[in-house]
Amino acid sequence: MTSKNYPGTYPNHTVCEKTLRVPKGKKLILRLGDLDIESQTCASDYLLFTSNSDQYGPYCGSMTVPKELLLNTNEVTVRFASGSHISGRGFLLTYASSDHPDLITCLERANHYLKTEYSKFCPAGCRDIAGDISGNLVDGYRDTSLLCKAAIHAGIIADELGGQISVLQRKGISRYEGILANGVLSRDGSLSDKRFLFTSNGCSRSLSLEPDTQIRASWQWVSEMGEQIHWSPDQAQLQDQDLSWAAGDGGKNRKQREWLETDLGEKKKITGIMTTGSTQSNFNFYVKSFVMKFKNNNSKWRSYKGIANNKEKVFQGNSNFRDPVRNNFIPPIVARYIRVVPQTWHQRIALNVELFGCQITQGINVTAVALPLVLFGLLVAGMGIFAALRKRKKKGNPYGSAKAQKTDCWKQIKYPFARHQSAEFTISYDHEKEMTQKLDLITSDMAGKRQASGTAP
């Protein structure tokens, strides 16, 4: 949660209230990442937290403000007021239940921590917070990068839900190469003493070069540059340095959507995709956005939907013909057939793709179940912010609600929590051998692959 316009100047003459809740039986943890309110007296500009039994604040000006508040309640009302002022960023606040004592804010950077290994809990909504990151998930990130924003970029957590991250600190490198991934632009970075990497379950190796993989498409373009050139789907593998796949006639005159389909030979877990455009400077073609379809044997095509709603998810594609863009699937797709369906493109549809994931572990007894994604977001759903612009007047309380409140002083993060989709998971049981899956560093599975051929746009 932030004040409106953050990190810009918050509006004049506003009074706003919002109530934060976590499930009953839990306690609220509040962490203030930033507080910059111009007033020194808290008479008209302040931030205040109130519950049924306690009051915290008001806070303003240059006073010492606790970085963390552990409240003895599951509900608190946040009140932010402003009068006439010239400057001030307002505030940035993150919150969670007492289940996550390692909660951090979206503004935490890796160089704030000295340990070589640590784990933290990132809140939802850090993707669009102002602040740079440098690097990528293969080489690691410069230690000046925002931790939670880098975790979204690396595909460790979804911006809609946040989540736990495990961090390893290592010696720095001379140059950090940037790439656009999961809607976050990582920039090229210079030499640093330290860098950090994330650990994961290791399900991120390339699936595109496996022997049983086949690629086909709805249509292909044949260009004539003195001779016929076929932009066929079998050229759509990202590892190839030649032409990509391109759709005939720019995809404009056909009634159906164009698509590029990958048959993985068997059902697999797909955790991410990397795309480029034509890769040819004299053919400035690329796909700007796309959706994903998937199915298994004898089943119907299904659309991949967002984790926080039940709508088909539109992925951000490329912004030029050359540089790769990565998107992760959280939760992963479990399927044999995968289709990329372009939605918007520049001049003509052209695609190179690479899928990442792993085999599905088969045990003695295998049971397929439908598990609502709401279980993933149960905590967040319980913590959901709801608007509570109330006219309250507490006797003897100089910070009671104003008679007329303006509703435009919050920066809204729109994450609907109604109707979560369901996803199919395969659960394996092996009575002979039980062991915890080892967490591997995300380097080996994608090592050797250059993630960008130049400075990210």
pLDDT tens-place string over residues 254-292: 557 899 999 999 999 999 999 998 888 888 999 999 999
SS3 state of residue 18:
strand
For the chain, domain boundaries:
2-101+381-411, 110-200, 206-359
Q: Is the dihedral of CA 352, 357, 359, 363 positive or negative?
A: negative
Q: What is the CATH number of domain 2-101+381-411?
A: 2.60.120.290
Whole-angstrom Cα distance, residue 66 to residue 256?
58
Six-digit token pair at 43? 């008479």
Residue 283 Cα distances to 19, 53, 222, 238, 277, angstroms = 53, 67, 13, 16, 9
Global pTM exceeds 0.75:
yes
Q: How confident is residue 312, by pLDDT bands cut at 50, 70 and 90?
A: very high
Domain pair 110-200 / 206-359, same fold: no
pLDDT tens figures, 134-144: 999 999 999 99
- pLDDT bucket at 40, cuts 50 / 70 / 90: confident
Share of the chain above pLDDT 70, in %: 72
- Given CATH 2.170.130.20, say whether it is the number of domain 110-200: yes
Instruction: Say if residues 308 and 162 touch (Cβ distance below 8 Å).
Output: no
Q: What confidence score (pLDDT) does residue 167 get?
A: 98
Least confident of 110-124, 358-372, 426-440: 426-440
**What does the pLDDT look like over 179-191, one tens digit per residue?**
999 999 999 999 9
Domain at 206-359, CATH homologous superfamily: Galactose-binding domain-like (2.60.120.260)
Q: Which of 239, 242, 241, 240 is nearest to 230 (CA)?
A: 242
* C-alpha to C-alpha distance for 12 and 390, rounded to whole angstroms: 19
Is pLDDT above 70 for 331?
yes
- DSSP assignment string, 205-254: EE-TTSTT-EEEES--EEEESSSEEEE-GGG-BTT--S--EE-GGGGTS-
Q: Is the pLDDT of residue 421 over 50?
A: no
